[in-house]
Structure 1
Amino acid sequence: MKPTAPVLEVVDRPGCQPLRAGWLLLVLVATPLAGAQSDEPVHFASEIRPILSDQCFECHGPDRAARQAGLRFDLPEGLFAPAESDHVPITPGQPELSELLQRVISDDPDLRMPPPETGAPLKPDQVDRLRRWIQQGANWQQHWSWQPPVRPQLPDVADADWPLGAMDCFVLARLDREQHDPAPVAVQETLLRRVTFDLTGLPPALDELDTFLEDRSPNAYEKQLDRLLASPRLGEHMAWTWLDAARYADTNGYQGDLTRTMWPWRQWVIEAFNANLPFDRFTTEQLAGDLLENPTIDQQIASGFHRNVPLNGEGGRIPEESRVEYVVDRVETTATVWMGLTSSCARCHDHKYDSLSQEEYYRLFAYFNQIDETGSVDSGRMAHPILKVPVRDKVHELRLVERRLADRKATFAAASTDRQPPDRQAWEDQLLDDGQTPPVWSPWQYLGPIQADSVGHGHNKRYGPEETGDASRVYGDTVWQTQDWPDDSIITMPLPPSCVGYAYRQVHVTNPATVELTLGADNGIRLWLNGAPLLNQLTQAGADTEQEKVTLELEPGTHHLLMKITNRTGSGGFYFQSTHGGLPPDIAPILKTAGDQRTPVEQQRLTELYRKSLPEFRDQAQQIRRLEGRRLRLENEAYVKTMVMRRRAEPRETYLLVRGRYDQPDKSEKLLPQVPSALSALPQGAPADRRGLARWLVTADHPLTARVAVNRYWQSLFGIGLVATSEDFGSQGAPPSHPDLLDWLATEYIHLEWDRKALLRKIVTSQTYRQSSRATAEAFRRDPQNRLLGRGPRFRLSAQMLRDQALAFSGLLAERIGGPSVKPYQPVGIWSEFSFGKIRYTPDGGQDLYRRTLYTFWRRSTGPTNVFDNSDRQVCSVRPRRTNTPLQALVLLNDPTYVEAARLLARRILNMADQTSERHLATAFRIATSRWPSQDEQNVLEGCLERARKHFQDQPVAAELLLDVGQARRNPHVDNVELAAYTSVMNVLLNMDETITRE
């Protein structure tokens, strides 16, 4: 049930009132600048509590075990009541009688606090603030983030015409206090580029830019927002940060780092964002989707949020120790993602800074302690509970194939059955003779080796040849090679440990025939005939004779046999022997029976056999066989297994773990699920399980959830949250730069019934968001981090946005949404280095090379974009890191992704008809930056092009080498020198500061 939202005032226009002249004079006189006046009010929450938290809470805070002298300064009774020594730490209005202040300023090292050996004395301005706070009455306030957000009144501002909405009033009021003017509105090109990146993660296309610039209507910007908010690219972009928070990866982590299948959960996240699933449901389905009444498959998939935890499949592990670690991870991830709390230290002792005791930690632990898991990993890859999930596009394709197959079979069955041989006896005699003709086998073709994570993984994974068995196709850098392997002997293949190899050959028969195969393999073997699976065996034995026997019933024509061998250790190999069994076993007896003595069934069997030998019927039969093979293949592909949550049938008891150790439970008290007492109470009737926890998190009076959520949206749009420490809203975290704005956003989000897109729309239509990011040197000096929000945000694009925009500029970006992870270009040897050569990276081909970075295969031990500060997905991460290093520039200039994108962008530009080189360069500049170049910039580009032309005219081999980068085909109709020259210039454009920066 959705929590009841409080009655809140909805303000579309701010209604801010201009300050009267007298009030303005008072504001100007009282405005705090660099030095504060002694009579200014000191605020406990923002000025005193941080001092106590940094300097005092470690010894005099919430942690009972570490508390000294019985003093607790995080509660008012600890600050204002007499201590065991009868001294009063704080006496309001009387600094000289306040023992805490006297200890801070004492010259006696035995009395001074903090103790001199800590090396962390209070600074003079901190001492001054503490003294003034006591003089002013020592007003105490609970930590701001532990109080439920209350809808604030809109402040008065000096310029009532500037705000476009309530948010702007709070921003402008702060700017007024700081005597700081807001920046002007950004130009249209910059604004569209900014909001397109922020909502979709991609740059605007030229036609989108032109449409916006040509639209003179007053709501032109709002029209673009409607388009962007409805774009499926929004879900992909927003999913990235949620995947970071959920520690999503395609492997388990730890030493083996084996592959898992969690992409169905990722697809659910994308679809949830695109469908604008309200945040309360988004929360409930991920934390407790499996516990809902009659949960759908999608809701069960959603519960996989907490199955993204790394799994330990190492030998010698203790399953219960691993299981406890998984539960701990879920507690700490939930606390960080939904509440912005650091909880890890409460695993071993009471939190030193926030009101979270060790007992309360393990009561939260109890919510996640009932999962039906053991700490073991099944077959080295995934751990139960596991759900079989339909893959929608594959299921749809399977249904189409089944319909086509049924139609073909019906057509074949309805075909004329009165076709008889002109001379039946001669045909039957010939059939007997031909039945002795052995099949004709083509030479073997070999494809491999292909690196696998493990034998089981390699044996089951489809690497490509299974799709067609076509020996003319190329799979990455691996190609088919003809082999002269003899039959009836054990073949040693060039197949290292943990690798897969494919062997392919054709067999041709002139009449229906039976062929017996005798096979053996080291260690796994799979066999397909015309795409239909015939054998699937994984053993511990090496290749030997007589291991497996398979019978092939062949119709007249050419058939395709594909064999897949998976090797565990040593050198892989196989054994192959074929025996011609002659005619199908039921045919020879019929032929030896006199015609007038045959039954109608036997006569019909011969008629069918004759019909199948005719070319037109043979083609139909071949089509049916192909469809049968495709159907069988799709039946395998139409379903995948993914990890989900599921409650144990037998409840598991929860105890406090002494020092956090799995094997030291304190069994003196059984702990039931419960939420921290310092936060809001559980809703009435909430069940004592994950459903109740989820309901509690999204209640209207929860002090943290809405604040944390809106702060992260703000962070994604402005580069930094209103609370800079988006992972920590506790005592050690940063205070909000605009407390009232944060609370207004939080209460507004609840009032909007957790409508994410509606909230985003409010933020990006604000005047605050629309400001130019350009500012004076003085403005940058006064506010280098833009904490006052006096200008538009400007920051470097993230790793995934850099790659995605390069693909978009070049026209390479694949449009497909969802599905399994893919493997684009990656430097050679990275996987081999961490795995001691056991795992090799093989890039995908075709469109999979050019899908959005969101879908890139993520290995925990070496993520795909580590150079650009991305999360390693080992633990929950909610605050992005941004750096600018020479190594990043090196990647952007030389990585195949960007070099190929530059070449395709050059080809795109050169394909534009009736344009001069000057226009080509200007258009390319506009594609990269969303604006036309200045004359100086145009001159630089033309100079770059001329120098590049001369360089490649003098060194044509260098042009060839440059144009050979990447798998995308070259245009044979474009001169190599010209294309290489333009490619070099496009490479420059892709690396300009303006191109890789969102401003």
Structure 2
Amino acid sequence: MKFFKILLIPIVALIVGWISRHWFRSEEPVDFNTDIRPILNTKCISCHGGVKESAGFSLFSREDALRKTKSGKPAIIPGNAADSELIRRLLSEDEDERMPYHAAPLSNPEIAKMKQWINQGAPWADHWAYVKPEKKALPPATNWSDHPVDRFIQARWQADTLQPSSPADKATLLRRLSLDLIGLPPTSAEMQAFLADKSPKTYEKQVDRLLASPHFGERWASMWLDLARYSDTKGYEKDDYRNIWGFRDYVIRSFNQDKPFDQFTLEQLAGDLLPEPTEEQIIATAYHRNTANNDEGGTDDEEFRTTAVLDRVSNTWEVWQGTTMACVQCHSHPYDPIRHQEFYESMAFFNNTRDEDVPGEYPNLNKYQPEAELKIKQVKAWLHQQLPAPEAAAGSKTIEHLLQFTEPKIHPHAFDQLTNAALSDGKYLGGGHAGYARLKNVNLTGKANLLLSIRSNQKEGTLEIRQDKLDGEVIGVYQNKKTIGRGNQRVLVKLKPGTGIHDLYFVFKNAAQPNPQDYVCQLEYVLFLEDLPGSSKPGYLENEQTLLALLNAEMEQIPVMRENPSELSRKNWVFVRGNWLTKGPEVQPNTPRFLPDFKNFKKNRLGLAQWLVSPENPLTARVTVNRFWEQLFGTGLVESLEDFGSQGSKPSHPELLDWLAIHFQREQNWQIKKLLRLLVLSKTYQQSSRVNARLLAKDPANRLLARGPRVRLSAEQIRDQALATGSLLSSKMYGASVMPPQPPGVWQVVYSGMQWETSEGEDAYRRALYTFWRRSSPYPSLLTFDAAGREVCVSRRIRTNTPLQALVTLNDTVYLTAARGLAQQMQNMSATPQNQIKAGYYRALFKQPNFATLHVLTRLYQQSEQHFTQKTQELQKFLPAIDHQLKNAPQLAALTVVANAIMNLDEFITKE
């Protein structure tokens, strides 16, 4: 018996071990991202995450989750769910103990998953978007297609036993392609040529033609300007004019040149920091000067400068990383591993620029008139005559910088100890007789000149610059002059040689001025300068005066980015709870720790831009290809374009997304035209958009793409298509924004004298892209069709369907004018009303109307003709003076009504 017991023990142990091994092998491992993260994000994170850490317990990261809580014990014990406080709280029947606190309890399956996860060691995993993509092997080719996109799409169909739809008919396909690639419908001639071309590569030839079109850049710039929050005005209360259309033209040219997206990124975020930047690369930096600027008197310039910088941080992370960084301004991210401090480390990249919240929107790129450019060349030629080549070259760069940027300016808000002096309208430093203001910590080493931007209504008086104290040594004096009628004048004051850092007192004097309350003069800015090149050479004084005259000449000014010199560099702190007045720890430029290391990059905007487009960054290429996919197919592979984080949408085709991202980055070298060509040549894109009951039941939103895209056109495309169909659309490109017709009384903004002055001639019919955009009052018809207001970055426009949209296309001046243009074409196309209607319908939609449609339109024509024939007063109101005097005016008016109805059809405003 004893022998039997001894023999039984190892046998039982063996059986138990076998059962245990078998049991744990059969148990599927829990996937953190699929099974656990959704539970934590929806049920736990609001109290135990980046915003709050109730009871000292945080699920922000695994390290946080496993640390001791306020009780002195960890809430999670890896491998031991039974003894983990988290599980006990989830199962508790006491409502004050059970988690989630005073909310619905977790379901039994959810609790089972949590137990299983802890028993398996509570493994953590990075969200899929934060893991560097790997290029997977292409799925097998099929009889349908061997195109890479199609192979991924068809592989996904297998689970749902879907089949591809038939190809779209040629006319539909060309209209779709043309609207997608250049934002305009094909012309009749282009359509006829395509239909007549029976060669094997006829469609491919159309793709290449459209990619080469100058209108390509206009179409895609429209998308990018939403991201750049582009506007022709500054925003806030006055919402005054901003001269920044040069940036819009830069974007158009970049798309037309097929500028690689990595270069496009570097130029916009840090073009000024590139070696020997071109004028175009400097203009590109206006991307981040599209932030709002508050001109209201009495506002704190530093507050609104800071607001602009905060916006630049959030914008950059949303556009290039698909990351919702804005909430991290106040606390750590609720759902993604971004700590509060890391927002301000990102902000440090952008917080060392010269720009201030001032009316002049400095720094600007100054662009001179041709006669001024000639004078600049003459000054440079004088330098080369007087100085050795290296000194002359350096001197030319100094002069270029002075004339191009006139930086680093110091603005009135930098002065303190104002006595009998004030910031006039919160912007200009004015001082009465014996008034003064102090400017602290000025480095005078090598500074020989002081450039003042100044104005005055007094003929006499002085402005003294005194060193270190109010009665200190006078190091410079400006003799006051009356400038009323000429605005701010740039003047040069000679300074006594000095070294070191000093406080300077600006003392205003004019004992003779009639009203002691008047300002002696007012300063817009001051700029300390070294001796200009060639100061000891013959002819210097004449050239100095020439330079001063150039600084006072008329010029075009474009807001751009410029980095602070070292003596003016800013420090960076965490803002406690996002309050810019409450400074926390000091920080240095850096990127969030959950993303690839930043240590190999320079800690400035250029380094950040290079990091964003580096091969190691897991997000930029994914986010970018997803954005262009959405423009073609209506929905992104990741639907939430703005959020690739754990609360964003899951990718419908993750392997395809990663393959496209790597292919775009490596093989296509970031070239957007190559990416778009690849996508539109796929058979997936070329499918018919017709839907049937089975497709609608299996895939109502068309996420699996077993049919072609069918979505409403963008606001700009709807307007441009109407004008093109009416043969009114201007082909004029570039230049200042225009003001097409809009309803009267729309612009009623307080404290602003800006007026909507309707453009004349072809400028009234330019593409919507060129329409003057005012943030406080955007162009109404575009806004009705969901165009972005441009106050902030918009990654994804919503698509609404409201009665207001039909009212716009039926009543807006632009659409009625376009309809009249189509009606005039219809009259020229045929002699009979019915054939005219057929011709107009085909011109708009590139297909013939069916019998029922033709019947309705013909009846509409007959009723309208009768109405206008009988009521000549209505005819005169409906048609312009010239047209209503024509012999066939009632017929033209009736055809205009029909054309207007055609342009109001869903088929016309939809990409079929």
Deviation digits for residues 375-417 of structure 1 (CA, Å, limit 9, x no counterpart)? 3222xxxx100112369xxx69999xxxxxxxxxxxxxxxxxx
Query: Secondary structure at the residue paired with 2:240?
Result: coil
| Partners of 2:245 and 2:114 in 1: CA distance | 53
1:775, distance to aligned residue in structure 2 (A): 1.4
1:98, distance to aligned residue in structure 2 (A): 6.2
The reply to whether residue 151 of structure 1 matches residue 135 of structure 2 is yes
Q: Is the 8 A contact 2:732 2:766 kept in 1?
A: yes
Report the counterpart of residue 704 of structure 1 in structure 2: 619
Report the counterpart of residue 809 of structure 2 in structure 1: 892
Report the counterpart of residue 650 of structure 2 in structure 1: 735
Report the counterpart of residue 559 of structure 1 in structure 2: none
| Partners of 1:167 and 1:270 in 2: CA distance | 28
Q: Which runs of 5+ in 1 are unaligned?
A: 1-37, 400-522, 524-535, 541-634
Query: Secondary structure at the residue paired with 1:641?
Result: strand
| One-letter code aligned to 1:251 | T
The reply to whether residue 993 of structure 1 matches residue 893 of structure 2 is no
* Alignment partner of 1:871 out of 785, 788, 792: 788
* Alignment partner of 1:301 out of 283, 288, 298: 283
Report the counterpart of residue 351 of structure 1 in structure 2: 333
Root-mean-square deviation over aligned CA pairs: 3.0
Report the counterpart of residue 882 of structure 1 in structure 2: 799
With structure 1 as the length reference, what TM-score do the two structures score?
0.67
* Alignment partner of 2:693 out of 752, 770, 777: 777
| One-letter code aligned to 1:54 | T
Report the counterpart of residue 229 of structure 1 in structure 2: 211
Q: Is the 8 A contact 2:238 2:751 kept in 1?
A: no
| One-letter code aligned to 1:45 | N
Report the counterpart of residue 981 of structure 1 in structure 2: 894
| Partners of 2:151 and 2:117 in 1: CA distance | 29
Query: Secondary structure at the residue paired with 2:593?
Result: coil
1:178, distance to aligned residue in structure 2 (A): 2.5
| Partners of 2:120 and 2:846 in 1: CA distance | 55
CA separation of 1:811 and 1:370: change in aligned 2, threshold 3 A: same
Deviates more, 1:638-647 or 1:700-709: 638-647
1:54, distance to aligned residue in structure 2 (A): 2.4
The reply to whether residue 538 of structure 1 matches residue 524 of structure 2 is no
Structure 1 segment 571-970 matched on structure 2, within 5 A: 639-649=555-565, 650-666=568-584, 669-682=585-598, 684=600, 686-751=601-666, 752-832=668-748, 834-835=749-750, 839-864=754-779, 865-912=782-829, 915-964=831-880, 970=883
Deviates more, 1:934-943 or 1:215-224: 934-943
CA separation of 1:284 and 1:837: change in aligned 2, threshold 3 A: closer
| Partners of 1:129 and 1:772 in 2: CA distance | 43
1:46, distance to aligned residue in structure 2 (A): 3.9
* Alignment partner of 1:290 out of 264, 267, 272: 272
Query: Secondary structure at the residue paired with 1:911?
Result: helix
1:760, distance to aligned residue in structure 2 (A): 0.8
1:662, distance to aligned residue in structure 2 (A): 2.3
Q: Is the 8 A contact 1:164 1:767 kept in 2?
A: no
Query: Secondary structure at the residue paired with 2:906?
Result: coil
Query: Secondary structure at the residue paired with 1:58?
Result: coil
Q: Is the 8 A contact 1:366 1:654 kept in 2?
A: yes
Report the counterpart of residue 59 of structure 1 in structure 2: 47
1:105, distance to aligned residue in structure 2 (A): 4.9
| One-letter code aligned to 2:856 | V
| One-letter code aligned to 2:644 | F
Q: Is the 8 A contact 2:819 2:897 kept in 1?
A: yes
| Partners of 2:688 and 2:261 in 1: CA distance | 31
1:153, distance to aligned residue in structure 2 (A): 2.5
CA separation of 1:311 and 1:237: change in aligned 2, threshold 3 A: same
1:203, distance to aligned residue in structure 2 (A): 1.1
| Partners of 1:838 and 1:671 in 2: CA distance | 43
Q: Is the 8 A contact 2:775 2:791 kept in 1?
A: yes
Query: Secondary structure at the residue paired with 1:387?
Result: strand
Structure 1 segment 264-663 matched on structure 2, within 5 A: 264-378=246-360, 383-389=361-367, 538=485, 639-649=555-565, 650-663=568-581
CA separation of 1:930 and 1:48: change in aligned 2, threshold 3 A: farther
Query: Secondary structure at the residue paired with 2:603?
Result: coil
Report the counterpart of residue 178 of structure 2 in structure 1: 196
1:637, distance to aligned residue in structure 2 (A): 12
| One-letter code aligned to 1:193 | R
| Partners of 1:719 and 1:46 in 2: CA distance | 26
| Partners of 1:953 and 1:963 in 2: CA distance | 13
Q: Is the 8 A contact 1:367 1:693 kept in 2?
A: yes
CA separation of 1:151 and 1:90: change in aligned 2, threshold 3 A: farther
| Partners of 1:730 and 1:274 in 2: CA distance | 32
1:636, distance to aligned residue in structure 2 (A): 12
Deviation digits for residues 940-974 of structure 1 (CA, Å, limit 9, x no counterpart)? 22222222222222222222211129xxx649656
Query: Secondary structure at the residue paired with 2:220?
Result: helix
Report the counterpart of residue 111 of structure 1 in structure 2: 97
Q: Is the 8 A contact 1:186 1:772 kept in 2?
A: yes
- Aligned pair count? 712
Deviates more, 1:812-821 or 1:206-215: 206-215
1:733, distance to aligned residue in structure 2 (A): 1.4
Q: Is the 8 A contact 1:320 1:662 kept in 2?
A: no
Q: Is the 8 A contact 2:355 2:561 kept in 1?
A: no
| Partners of 2:147 and 2:119 in 1: CA distance | 39
Report the counterpart of residue 249 of structure 1 in structure 2: 231
1:162, distance to aligned residue in structure 2 (A): 2.3
Query: Secondary structure at the residue paired with 2:216?
Result: helix
Identity rate, percent:
43
Q: Is the 8 A contact 2:78 2:120 kept in 1?
A: no
1:212, distance to aligned residue in structure 2 (A): 1.4
| Partners of 1:188 and 1:128 in 2: CA distance | 55
Deviation digits for residues 464-509 of structure 1 (CA, Å, limit 9, x no counterpart)? xxxxxxxxxxxxxxxxxxxxxxxxxxxxxxxxxxxxxxxxxxxxxx
Q: Is the 8 A contact 2:235 2:292 kept in 1?
A: yes
Q: Is the 8 A contact 2:57 2:75 kept in 1?
A: no
1:766, distance to aligned residue in structure 2 (A): 1.2
CA separation of 1:975 and 1:371: change in aligned 2, threshold 3 A: same
| Partners of 2:82 and 2:68 in 1: CA distance | 15
Deviation digits for residues 914-947 of structure 1 (CA, Å, limit 9, x no counterpart)? 5543332122111211222223322322222222
Query: Secondary structure at the residue paired with 2:46?
Result: helix
| Partners of 2:214 and 2:108 in 1: CA distance | 55
1:51, distance to aligned residue in structure 2 (A): 2.7
Deviates more, 1:820-829 or 1:350-359: 350-359
CA separation of 1:775 and 1:368: change in aligned 2, threshold 3 A: same
Q: Which runs of 5+ in 2 are unaligned?
A: 1-25, 375-456, 458-482, 488-550
| Partners of 2:137 and 2:88 in 1: CA distance | 39
CA separation of 1:177 and 1:189: change in aligned 2, threshold 3 A: same
Report the counterpart of residue 479 of structure 2 in structure 1: none
Q: Is the 8 A contact 1:869 1:881 kept in 2?
A: yes
Query: Secondary structure at the residue paired with 2:815?
Result: helix
Report the counterpart of residue 261 of structure 1 in structure 2: 243
Query: Secondary structure at the residue paired with 1:656?
Result: strand
Q: Is the 8 A contact 2:238 2:295 kept in 1?
A: yes
